[in-house]
Amino acid sequence: MNAALLEVRDLNKAFGNVVTARNLSFSLADGTLTSIIGPNGAGKSTLINILSGSIPPDSGEILFQGQDITRYPIDRRVRQGLCRSFQVANVFGHLSLFENIAIPVIALKQKATSFLCSVKKDLEVKQAVDKILDRIGLLDHSHVSASALSHGDRRLLEVGIALAAKPKLLFLDEPTAGMNPVERTRILQNIRDLSAEGEVTFVIVEHDMDVVFSLSERVIVLYRGNIIGDGTPEQVKSNPKVREVYLGEEVA
Ligand SMILES: Nc1ncnc2c1ncn2[C@@H]1O[C@H](COP(=O)(O)OP(=O)(O)OP(=O)(O)O)[C@@H](O)[C@H]1O
């Protein structure tokens, strides 16, 4: 068993009468590609929002690499290595791919005051940006405007932007949403390759069961703020409670 990267203890969150997390406790192992699934309204987004720092829990603790980060703001979590890539595109369409990735790379290097025109002279930045573009398979498109990208490549660029922050743990919200089959196959292979490199641990929130079961080493199933299934894809598929309340006929 790999070391725990993230540990969640007795997490609770409710919006009025709607309970989205009820005494949730689990840990995420370093290097294990995990998916969080559940029917609409199960509490997946709320959980990711709490873990990445955009909303506070009502109670409970979050430990990242053994450190209590429960009250850390988003930017401090990002600096610690806990990041998320948004479902809604956060790409600057009028900038090139190189520039889109250079911005967070420079920010991380605390050279945010540099002008973009001088960035390309900065060998260190260029190497870092090129490495990320290569990892997401878009190095050949370095100087293409982000607005010219296909939907699938745009999602890959978002992953690249997230990678620029050098995350240790990266949440991806529906990485294949709106993609055609070719784009989908490509981004899934990319995530597999990045995960196999071992630098980043991925946690994916996904509705598409084909994606979940083909990609994940571990699947956590949420239902009304409770974990009703947790294990390998095979274990989750054969879990009677999961079949009953969530997967139903889809798996049968
Ligand atoms: N800010 C909020 N205020 C009030 N209720 C909220 C808020 N955010 C979420 N909820 C409610 O909490 C419940 C869980 O929502 P959440 O978005 O976490 O579920 P989800 O599993 O991500 O659903 P989906 O798969 O549809 O995205 C829902 O009933 C939702 O309406």
| pLDDT tens-digit readout, 52-79 | 999 999 999 999 999 999 999 998 999 8
Question: What residue ranges of the chain have pLDDT lower than 50?
Answer: 1, 87, 111-113, 249, 251-252
Residue 134 per-residue DSSP state: H
| Single pTM value for the model | 0.87
**Rounded Cα distance, 62 and 73, in Å:** 13
Position 251 scores a pLDDT of 47
DSSP run (H or E) holding 101 = helix 97-108
Partners of 20 in beta bridges: none
- 83 shares its domain with 98: no
Whether 43 lines ligand 1, by a CB cut-off of 6 Å, is yes
Position 140 scores a pLDDT of 94
Position 8 scores a pLDDT of 97
Contact 60, 9 (CB under 8 A): yes
**Rounded Cα distance, 39 and 96, in Å:** 37
Measured between alpha carbons, how far is residue 141 from residues 55, 109, 148, 149, 181 in Å?
36, 24, 10, 9, 21
**How remote is the C-alpha of 2 from its chain's centroid?**
19
* CATH number of the domain that residue 186 is part of: 3.40.50.300
Strand order in the sheet with 59-64: 18-29, 4-15, 59-64, 67-68
Whether 15 lines ligand 1, by a CB cut-off of 6 Å, is yes
Whether 52 lines ligand 1, by a CB cut-off of 6 Å, is no
Q: Which range of residues forms the domain containing residue 110? A: 92-148
- 81 shares its domain with 12: yes
- 78 shares its domain with 181: yes
Q: Around Cβ 20, how many Cβ atoms within 10 Å?
A: 25
Q: Which two tokens stand for residue 145?
A: 């405007």
Does some domain include residue 182? yes
Q: How many domains does the chain have?
A: 2
Whether 42 lines ligand 1, by a CB cut-off of 6 Å, is yes
Specify the 3-state DSSP secondary structure of 217: coil
Contact 64, 6 (CB under 8 A): yes
Residue type (1 letter), 5:
L
CA of 20 from ligand 1 middle (Å) equals 7
